Amino acid sequence: MPVEISIPFENLTVQYGLLREEIHAALDDVALGGKFTMGPFLQRFEQEFAAYTETRYCVGISSGTAALHLALLACGIGPGDEVITVPNTYIATVFAISYTGATPVFADVDPLTYNIDPRQVEAKITPRTKAILPVHLYGHCVEMDELLALARRYHLRVIEDDAHAHGATYHGRKAGSLGDIGCFSFYPTKVMGAYGDGGAATTNDPELYEKLRMLRYMGQRVKYVHEVVGYQQRLCDLQAAILSVKLRHIEEHIAGRIHWAHRYNQLLQGTPVITPVEVGGARHVYYMYTIRAPRRDDLQAYLREQGIGSMVVYPGPVPYQPAYQPMGFKPGDFPVTDAHLKEILCLPMFPELTEEQVQKVCAAIRAFYQ
Ligand SMILES: Cc1ncc(COP(=O)(O)O)c(C=O)c1O
């Protein structure tokens, strides 16, 4: 008999309960206004999210994957180009590169933060390299100064994958404002999630902004004048209105995540697990609270028996996925990613966790190792 999970890995319904009235009011406003696409709620959210990410412009897009794809296209990336990214990301980061016809090139990650290692990036730059696509994994910003210096030296674009990093900062600067374009996912479980798919791209560059706007809606600046081959990838007004509500609460939600992460750190002291670090002037927003655990698979099974959810994010590095088999990578090609892969485990993390739940998780981990 499967054990009932009493402490889930994530829980979206508790938050819905708390925001219910505000969400209902927002949905009512959209429906009563009768404009469901490219309407005032999308426009308002774009302005609010640009302000939040401290960028000049935001373009609401239908998903994080689409935001990455359009960002690469807006930067003129296509067949024959190379884009450097990481092996330990969600497949969407790399698929977006492949959609453009460019070739993904993988640079291994830093052993402390699990983020792209600028030294590994430099070794991968060729005359065909056009861009770097760093991922602020788990909510901890990449060491951007070094990466941006490399980009300047080699005339490369930097497109951020901010899917884990809403509200994360790097030396006081917001994720999404660090590279040429920031790409966000509002998948429901993200730090700020919609009630369905959603995404956005942020930028300070007016030309990139214009291109992104055209690409996300059928290549038009003026209705029915299609200047380029564009896409039907708008963020709809219902999602935008929900996201405006969520944005009003984002700092509370991030504070909750940080609080629970620090409690986990305290309560796991003296156990054999390695807890996450915060380095390089980063504000980690803990989309995931990821430990490194000896005998990880046994620990995960033990937690499940105790009714505690957990996840391995991501269990299969992208270069080893069947879709990229033709590139010929094999386990061992990315030693840091490979070493982490056997040990990483993400513990329950959402703002509405309780002290009792966090204590229970940590007590179970302690008991496992005793
Ligand atoms: C790192 C990363 N990049 C990109 C994406 C793609 O976002 P979406 O699911 O909104 O298309 C995700 C989300 O799932 C992600 O975690």
Mean pLDDT score, 213-237: 97
DSSP string over 108-167? -B-TTT-SB-HHHHHHH--TTEEEE--B-GGG----HHHHHHHHHHHT-EEEEE-TT-TT
Mutational pocket test of ligand 1: of 185, 236, 312, the residue with most ligand atoms within 8 Å of the beta carbon: 185
Q: What pLDDT is recorded for position 258?
A: 98
Q: What pLDDT is recorded for position 241?
A: 98
Q: Are residues 255 and 141 in the same domain?
A: no
Q: Is 61 in the pocket of ligand 1 (CB under 6 A)?
A: no
Residue whose Cα lies nearest atom 12 of ligand 1: it is 163
CB atoms within 10 A of CB 13: 9
Given 229, 244, 259, the domain boundary residue is: 244
Q: Is residue 5 part of a domain?
A: no
Give distance in angstroms: CA of 269 to centre of ligand 1.
32
Q: What pLDDT is recorded for position 283?
A: 97
Q: What pLDDT is recorded for position 44?
A: 98
Q: Are residues 172 and 268 in the same domain?
A: no
Q: Is 180 in the pocket of ligand 1 (CB under 6 A)?
A: no
Q: Are residues 87 and 216 in the same domain?
A: yes
Q: Is residue 6 part of a domain?
A: no
**What confidence tier does 337 reach under pLDDT thresholds 50, 70, 90?**
very high
Q: Are residues 179 and 103 in the same domain?
A: yes
**What confidence tier does 176 reach under pLDDT thresholds 50, 70, 90?**
very high
Q: Is residue 356 part of a domain?
A: yes
- The answer to whether the beta carbons of residues 92 and 64 sit under 8 Å apart is yes
Q: Are residues 185 and 233 in the same domain?
A: yes
Mean pLDDT score, 131-157: 97
Give distance in angstroms: CA of 92 to centre of ligand 1.
6
- For 41-57, what is each residue's pLDDT tens digit? 999 999 999 999 999 99
For 312, counting Cβ atoms within 10 Å of its Cβ (0-12 exposed, 13-18 middle, 19+ buried), the class is middle
Instruction: With a cut of 90, say whether residue 177 has pLDDT above it.
Output: yes
Query: Which range marks the domain in which residue 176 is found?
Result: 12-107+115-244
Mutational pocket test of ligand 1: of 90, 166, 346, the residue with most ligand atoms within 8 Å of the beta carbon: 90
Instruction: Give the chain's mean pLDDT.
Output: 97
Mean pLDDT score, 293-307: 98
CATH of the domain at 351: 3.90.1150.10
Q: What pLDDT is recorded for position 202?
A: 99
Give distance in angstroms: CA of 369 to centre of ligand 1.
34
Give distance in angstroms: CA of 359 to centre of ligand 1.
30
- For 98-122, what is each residue's pLDDT tens digit? 999 999 999 999 999 999 999 999 9
Q: Is residue 127 part of a domain?
A: yes
Q: What pLDDT is recorded for position 20?
A: 98
Given 224, 244, 264, the domain boundary residue is: 244
Mean pLDDT score, 6-27: 97
Q: Are residues 205 and 57 in the same domain?
A: yes
Q: Are residues 238 and 275 in the same domain?
A: no
CB atoms within 10 A of CB 52: 18
- The answer to whether the beta carbons of residues 276 and 283 sit under 8 Å apart is no
Q: Are residues 72 and 184 in the same domain?
A: yes
Q: Is 185 in the pocket of ligand 1 (CB under 6 A)?
A: yes
Q: Is residue 95 part of a domain?
A: yes
Ligand 1 closest atom vs CA 96:
4
Q: Are residues 160 and 222 in the same domain?
A: yes
Mean pLDDT score, 31-41: 98
Q: Are residues 68 and 206 in the same domain?
A: yes
Give distance in angstroms: CA of 65 to centre of ligand 1.
6
Mean pLDDT score, 212-221: 98
Instruction: With a cut of 90, say whether residue 81 has pLDDT above it.
Output: yes
Q: Which residue has the tokens 């620990």?
A: 299
Mean pLDDT score, 217-228: 97
Q: What pLDDT is recorded for position 1?
A: 66
Give distance in angstroms: CA of 134 to centre of ligand 1.
13
Q: Is residue 2 part of a domain?
A: no
Given 176, 209, 244, the domain boundary residue is: 244
The Cα angle at residue 134 between residues 136 and 88, in degrees rounded to 5: 75
Q: What pLDDT is recorded for position 8?
A: 97
CA distance linking residue 196 with residue 48, whole number of Å? 20
What is the maximal distance between C-alpha atoms in the chain?
Answer: 68
Instruction: With a cut of 80, say whether residue 269 has pLDDT above it.
Output: yes
Q: Is residue 4 part of a domain?
A: no
Give distance in angstroms: CA of 182 to centre of ligand 1.
13
**What confidence tier does 247 reach under pLDDT thresholds 50, 70, 90?**
very high
Spatial CB neighbours of 10, under 8 Å, sequence gap ≥ 6 = 189, 309, 348, 349, 350
Instruction: With a cut of 90, say whether residue 3 has pLDDT above it.
Output: no
Bridge partners, 132 (sequence order): 84, 158
Ligand 1 closest atom vs CA 89:
1
CATH of the domain at 146: 3.40.640.10
Q: Is residue 134 part of a domain?
A: yes
Give distance in angstroms: CA of 156 to centre of ligand 1.
23
Q: Are residues 230 and 270 in the same domain?
A: no
Q: Is 164 in the pocket of ligand 1 (CB under 6 A)?
A: yes
Domain count, the chain: 2
Q: Is 163 in the pocket of ligand 1 (CB under 6 A)?
A: yes
Q: Is 199 in the pocket of ligand 1 (CB under 6 A)?
A: yes
**What confidence tier does 314 reach under pLDDT thresholds 50, 70, 90?**
very high
Q: Are residues 194 and 226 in the same domain?
A: yes
